[in-house]
Structure 1
Amino acid sequence: MTTILVVDDDSHIRKLIRLYLENSHYNVLEAGDGEEALTILEKYSPDLAIVDVMMPKMDGYELTEDIRSFLDIPILMVTAKGESQDKVKGFRAGTDDYVVKPFDPVELILRVEALLKRYRIGTENVIKLGAITIDKDQLTVRAEDKMVSLKKKECELLSVLASSPGKIFTRNQLIEKIWGYDYEGDERTVDVHIKRLREQLEIFEEMTITTVRGLGYRLEAIHG
Structure 2
Amino acid sequence: MAPMERGGLVMVCDDTEPIRRLIRLNLELEGYEVEEVSDGAQLLARLASRAEEGAALPGVITLDAHMVPRDGWWTISQIRSDPRFADIPVLMVTASVQQHDRVQAKASGLDAFVAKPFDPEYLITLVDGFMAEGRTHTPQP
TM-score normalised by structure 1 residue count: 0.52
**Which residue identity does 2:91 align to in structure 1?**
L
Greater share of strand residues, 1 or 2?
Answer: 1
Q: Percent identity?
A: 39
- Asked if 1 retains the 8 angstrom alpha-carbon contact of 2:13 and 2:40, the reply is yes
Question: Shift in Å at residue 18 of structure 1?
Answer: 0.3
Q: Structure 1 CA distance, aligned partners of 2:21 and 2:10?
A: 13
Over alpha carbons, which structure has the higher Rg?
1
Identify the residue that residue 68 of structure 2 maps to in structure 1.
56
Confirm or deny that 1:17 pairs with 2:32: no
Deviations 1:3-28 (A, max 9, x none): 00000000000000000100111111
Confirm or deny that 1:103 pairs with 2:118: yes
- Asked if 1 retains the 8 angstrom alpha-carbon contact of 2:20 and 2:36, the reply is yes
Q: Structure 2 CA distance, aligned partners of 1:9 and 1:17?
A: 13
Any stretches of 5+ residues in structure 1 without a counterpart? 123-159, 161-172, 174-224
Identify the residue that residue 41 of structure 1 maps to in structure 2.
47
Identify the residue that residue 4 of structure 2 maps to in structure 1.
none
- CA RMSD across the alignment: 1.6
Q: Structure 2 CA distance, aligned partners of 1:116 and 1:47?
A: 6
Q: Structure 2 CA distance, aligned partners of 1:83 and 1:114?
A: 25
- Asked if 2 retains the 8 angstrom alpha-carbon contact of 1:49 and 1:74, the reply is yes
Q: Structure 2 CA distance, aligned partners of 1:29 and 1:54?
A: 19
Identify the residue that residue 67 of structure 1 maps to in structure 2.
79
Higher relative contact order (CA 8 A, sep 6+): 2
4+ residue runs of structure 1 moved beyond 3 angstroms? none
**Which residue identity does 2:76 align to in structure 1?**
T
Q: Structure 1 CA distance, aligned partners of 2:128 and 2:102?
A: 21
Q: Structure 2 CA distance, aligned partners of 1:84 and 1:118?
A: 27
1:35-184 matches, within 5 Å, as 35-44=41-50, 45-70=57-82, 71=85, 72-119=87-134, 122=136
- Asked if 2 retains the 8 angstrom alpha-carbon contact of 1:2 and 1:46, the reply is yes
Question: Shift in Å at residue 116 of structure 1?
Answer: 2.1
3-state SS, counterpart of residue 5 of structure 1 = strand
3-state SS, counterpart of residue 30 of structure 1 = strand
- Asked if 1 retains the 8 angstrom alpha-carbon contact of 2:59 and 2:134, the reply is no
Confirm or deny that 1:3 pairs with 2:9: yes
Any stretches of 5+ residues in structure 2 without a counterpart? 1-6, 51-56
May I ask how many residue pairs the two structures share in their alignment?
A: 123
TM-score normalised by structure 2 residue count: 0.82
3-state SS, counterpart of residue 66 of structure 2 = coil
Q: Structure 1 CA distance, aligned partners of 2:130 and 2:58?
A: 13
